[in-house]
Amino acid sequence: MIYLVIPAVLAAIYHLLALVAALARAGRGSPKYAEQEKLSDTPGVSILKPVHGRDPHFYEAIRSQADLDYPEYEILFGLNNPQDPALEDLNRLAAEFPERKIRVILCPRRMPNGKVGVLAVLEREARYSVLVVNDSDIAVERDYLRRVTSALAEPAVGLVTCLYRAMGDTWPARWEALGIATDFAPSLLVARMIGVAEFALGSTMALRAADLAKIGGFETIGEYLADDYQLGRRISSRGDRIAVAGTVVATWLSAKSWRDVWRHQVRWSRTIRCSRAAGYYGYVITNATVWALVALCAKAWPVAVAALTVRLLAGIATAGLVLHDPSAARLWFLIPFRDLVGFAIWVAGLGGSTVEWRGEKIRLTKDGRIVERG
């Protein structure tokens, strides 16, 4: 029966690495670290923000980026739809911050991934040599640009990304946020610890316009659904390092029902499978709750208890110390139940090539390209 215990041991080792990585990362968000970053140069920055409708707490998110402690930057909002309901909020923002360089640009859809098509237009309109891309629902602290550009100041760094904490107004959204804080974020920390650092996150992608041009611009990733991963992979393949800034941004999740959570998570799961198959299939070993139950059935209860304990500690440490997410940290007792649902989502993501994204059904190729929309 020992073969039933080995996966639990491997899962425990994985989460022990996640715990160590979380403790090592915790200091990056300290006030002392932030003060050190403020000593860096402050190049002009163009923030590129594709917008598609009103996300939860949308105005709160965009307002946070108009009120930054940074000397020279602009915000370019791009929309496909001239009747987009978000226009009302964008006009309100421009009226509230007349001194800020804010432009709203209509970007006709010309790529399978409409978001990337918008980014290609915004990049051509940008005035500055440093580009910062983040999703429309991302809220940031006032020192956000200082900390991001500080990380980009090192010549060997080709792109800077940020970890993020998620919040929700509904229980389904909070449940999804728990998974981001205690499962997804720890996996990113472990990946970087073992040298897998080719990924970028849509929460922030900061890079030099010159480096973007060297990989062929946004046009080279316009066919892919996981545009953030593809951009990071191309920057990394040139030998440039991807850094994680010492600031954590925030987002509000839109799920109103458990069905919304399931659809979103299955889309995410299938997209990861198409983009990073090795990491996707490796998830089966990292689910400590599942293997702790298997070990318990094999009457190896010390192994089961150890695996589940270190899994909980890693999740709590990441949520509380790294992401500063008190809500997820308080819900630590739900982590095992979330792991079991996560395993079901992983199984659902093993097959199928169709996902739902912003009200559309999209079919993907094996490498994550968009081949059909419905």
CATH 3.90.550.10 holds for 29-254:
yes
Q: What residue ranges of the chain are covered by domains with CATH 3.90.550.10? A: 29-254
Q: Tokens for 326?
A: 């008190």
pLDDT in tens, 34-76: 554 555 578 999 999 999 888 889 999 999 999 999 999 999 9
pLDDT in tens, 147-167: 999 989 889 999 999 999 999
Residue 33: pLDDT over 50: no
Distances (CA, A) of 340 to 3, 15, 84, 288, 337: 21, 16, 38, 10, 5
- Asked whether the beta carbons of 318 and 16 are under 8 A apart, the reply is no
Q: Tokens for 224?
A: 């892919």
Helices assigned H by DSSP within 243-361: 258-275, 277-286, 288-297, 301-317, 326-330, 335-349
Per-residue pLDDT at 275: 84
Nearest to 202, CA basis, from 163, 149, 148, 246: 163
- Annotate 12-66 with DSSP letters as a single string: HHHHHHHHHHHHHHHGGGSHHHHHHHTTS----EEEEEEE-S--TTHHHHHHHHH
Query: For residues 282 and 248, what is the distance between their CA atoms, to the nearest angstrom?
Result: 26
- Asked whether the beta carbons of 164 and 203 are under 8 A apart, the reply is yes
Distances (CA, A) of 78 to 130, 260, 364: 18, 26, 25
pLDDT in tens, 342-357: 999 999 999 888 888 7
Which of 28-32, 38-42, 265-269 has the lowest average pLDDT? 28-32
Interaxial angle between packed helices 277-286 and 335-349, expressed in degrees from 0 to 180 and rounded to the nearest 10: 140
- Mean pLDDT over each residue of the chain, to the nearest integer: 91
pLDDT in tens, 312-371: 999 999 999 999 998 998 999 999 999 999 999 999 999 888 888 777 788 888 888 998
Burial 239-251 (b: 16+ CB within 10 A, else e): ebbbbbbbbbbbb
Q: What is the pTM of this model?
A: 0.92
Per-residue pLDDT at 109: 72
Query: For residues 213 and 123, what is the distance between their CA atoms, to the nearest angstrom?
Result: 10
Per-residue pLDDT at 110: 80
Q: Tokens for 172?
A: 């389904």
